[in-house]
Amino acid sequence: MTHSRSRSLLAGAGLLVTALAVSACASSSATPEASGDAQEISGDILFYDTSGGTVWEQLDATLFGDFTADTGVTVTDDYNEAATKFFGAAEAGQVPWSLLFLPTVNDAATAAEQGFLAEIDTSIVPVDKLVEGTYSDHGIEVGTFGMVLAWDGEAYDTAPSTMADLWDLETFPGKRCFFNNPQYGWTLEAALLADGVAPDELYPLDVERALAKLDEIKGDITWWTSGAQSIESFENGSCDIGILWANRANSALADNGFPMEITWDEGGYSNSVWSIPADGPNVAAAQQLLAHVIENKDGQIAFASKIPTPIPASVIGVEPSDFPEEVQPFLPVGSNIDNAIRQDTDYYAENLDEVLDAFNRWVGQ
């Protein structure tokens, strides 16, 4: 089990791709070995950014800033809430972006199927340095966010360790915090795990069984509707235990001094994707940028030390111990996620409407 028992207040630590306030950090001065011929690239990369806020600020200060310093190629942010605008532009043949931050693996797969993405040039981009399964022909996975068991470290004498502990009201009394969106809250998966379903048998979800299990604690659930509200619910005493996004848990400890503790065991995680549009105006520079990011370990550490959703998602040999001690428990990398479960995004892509309908009807009963 991996969990945090730290009580220290971290200066300017990071959060999730959904915007909490952090202070900017300076990037490492180390220069990664360039792939390909960087002398041939120039101009600007317009970045289709679906994160924005502090994520962009830290990218600009670390990984993107390092790339610009080494190549002279600038990166300009263009924030968009979802992938919708890109798909519309690609269909119209009017794509001004050269690098895309697609929110889900399914978005990237759909764009690739429709011919909207360039293939990653593996003669330039060293994908062999990425963990197998975290890249494809058309993108590299980034910005892992985790959905983890979290609790007030001063509320219990014994630390919780599995999702079943959310149902143990005697040992772990108090309200339970859950996100009111099952896809991004791990609510149904947690219920099934607590009911004895093996991790490798979670999908397809038995939604009826999960809701029946949730019935057992329905009166003890406090629902949160945003990342900020999730940690506020702990801080104001509305709940003592629940499921949080890992980087929000980190923010509660780092920014607010709340004694938040987590375990990745039986938690879930999912990734976004960086891809290059097939018709982008500066594809060559974008290929070089991906290569530079993969090679830039110091920049990766600088970024994830502020925003604990690593970019790239998983580089071979990068372990929690490579990062500052205070942020290590919250990072979805290496041994931290040995007992975590990758969310089946294909399942949600195919069944989301039905799952949401059943879940929302149950909540409203």
Q: Report, as an integer, the average pLDDT of 2-6.
A: 38
Find the largest Cα–Cα distance for the chain: 65
Residue 254 Cα to chain centre, angstroms = 18
Residue with more model confidence, 99 or 335: 99
In the predicted structure, residue 363 carries a pLDDT above the cut 60: yes
All residues at 6 or more sequence positions from 275 whose CB lies less than 8 Å from its CB, including other chains: 99, 100, 102, 108, 111, 112, 117, 118, 138, 139
Tell me the per-residue pLDDT of 248-261, one tens digit each, with 9 for 90 and over.
Answer: 899 899 889 999 99
Q: Report, as an integer, the average pLDDT of 156-165.
A: 97
Tell me the per-residue pLDDT of 210-224, one tens digit each, with 9 for 90 and over.
Answer: 999 999 999 999 999
Which of these, 160, 131, 157, lies nearest to 144 by C-alpha position? 131
Rounded distance, CA 222 to CA 231, Å?
12
- Per DSSP bridges, beta strands 135-136 and 139-152 are antiparallel
Residue with more model confidence, 75 or 32: 75
Q: Which of 157-161, 279-283, 326-330 has the lowest mean pLDDT?
A: 326-330
Q: Report, as an integer, the average pLDDT of 158-180.
A: 97
**Amino acid in the structure at residue 329:** P
3-state helix, strand, coil in the chain (%, to 5): 40, 20, 40
What's the pLDDT score for residue 32? 54
Tell me the per-residue pLDDT of 173-229, one tens digit each, with 9 for 90 and over.
Answer: 999 999 999 988 999 999 999 999 999 999 999 999 999 999 999 999 999 998 889
pLDDT confidence bin for 300, thresholds 50/70/90: very high
Tell me the per-residue pLDDT of 233-249, one tens digit each, with 9 for 90 and over.
Answer: 999 999 999 999 998 89
What's the pLDDT score for residue 252? 92
What's the pLDDT score for residue 16? 33
What's the pLDDT score for residue 263? 97
Percent of the chain with pLDDT over 90: 77
In the predicted structure, residue 340 carries a pLDDT above the cut 60: yes
| Structural domains of the chain in order of their starting residue, each with its CATH number | 42-144+271-337 (3.40.190.10), 146-268+343-364 (3.40.190.10)
- Coil, helix or strand for 217? coil
In the predicted structure, residue 18 carries a pLDDT above the cut 60: no
What's the pLDDT score for residue 255? 87
Q: Report, as an integer, the average pLDDT of 59-80.
A: 97
Structure tokens at 364: 């409203």
What's the pLDDT score for residue 354? 97
CA-based R_g, the chain, Å:
20
What's the pLDDT score for residue 158? 95
Q: Which of 10-14, 154-158, 316-320 has the lowest mean pLDDT?
A: 10-14
Residue with tokens 């709340």: 258
Residue with tokens 């099952």: 182
> What is the DSSP track for 117-172?
BPPP-TTTS-GGGBPTTSEETTEEEEEEEEEEEEEETTT-SS---SGGGGG-TTTS
In the predicted structure, residue 276 carries a pLDDT above the cut 70: yes
Model pTM?
Answer: 0.78
